[in-house]
A = this chain, B = another copy of it.
Amino acid sequence: MIIYDNVEIGDDCIIGDYVIIGETSNQQSSSSPVTKIGYSCIIRSHSLLYAGCQLGNFVHLGNRATIREFSIVGNHCSIGMSAELQGNCTIGDYSRLQSFVSVGQQTKIGRFVFVYPYAVFTNDPLPPSSQLEGVEIGDFTQVSAGVILLAGANIGKFSLISVNSKVGGMFEDDSFIEGNPGRRIGKLSKMPFFNKDGKRHYPWPYQYATNMPWQGLDFDDWAINENIPLF
């Protein structure tokens, strides 16, 4: 592994082979901004952190993940294999990006957001231009495999974007979004998505808690305590 100057790494981190931490975007500059990695992180082999990025605590980086300059990853996040976070992005706590997700500059992803393989967050509304409009994704929203988010898309909380949709514009909370172009089919919480036990799957935090802070608790109790609006 190669660790450049001005890198701060917390306790109990595991760093894999052929990892680079603190690479500069302009390799000719002499001083580089501080790079911070919190405690109890796992940085898998072949991954790459640019100078100036920040990871919280308990972050897991998959093999060949890349975090570019000035991007900030919250606590308990996981960034999948070969996923790319370009510069100046923010990702909230407990969010998970799976393999090969590509996140363009200035994207803002909330907390408890899960993004599945090959989802792409673009940022140029009129290619090529110098306008840079990052995508925003609200807390608890699920972005399925192969989704393409157009520059400036703004997706509310507790929503689901279906596989392979192409989505631009603004969507309110609790949206089920599907299609090319992606449209709001209706309230996600009213859609007939039932699990094996015949229960409605969305809002998903009532059905899934693995490694989430409400694991072992009642989600309503946890959410009230955290001031999160309930369904």
> 1/0 contact trace for A183-197 toward B, CB 8 Å?
000000000010110
A interface majority secondary structure: loop
| A150 vs B116: C-alpha distance when bound (angstroms) | 12
The 8 Å CB contact of A20, one of B17, B142, B144, B164, is B17
| Complex contact B196–A131 (CB within 8 A) | yes
| Complex contact A66–B63 (CB within 8 A) | yes
Binds B, one of A51-59, A120-128, A218-226: A120-128
Is the CB of A99 closer than 8 A to any CB of chain B?
yes
| Size class of the contact patch on chain A | 35 or more
Which residues on the B side are within 8 Å of A166 (C-beta)?
146, 163-164
Which residues on the B side are within 8 Å of A48 (C-beta)?
45-46, 63
The 12 listed contacts between A and B (C-beta, < 8 Å) are A16-B27, A17-B23, A66-B81, A81-B84, A82-B82, A86-B99, A102-B118, A122-B145, A128-B142, A129-B201, A129-B204, A148-B163
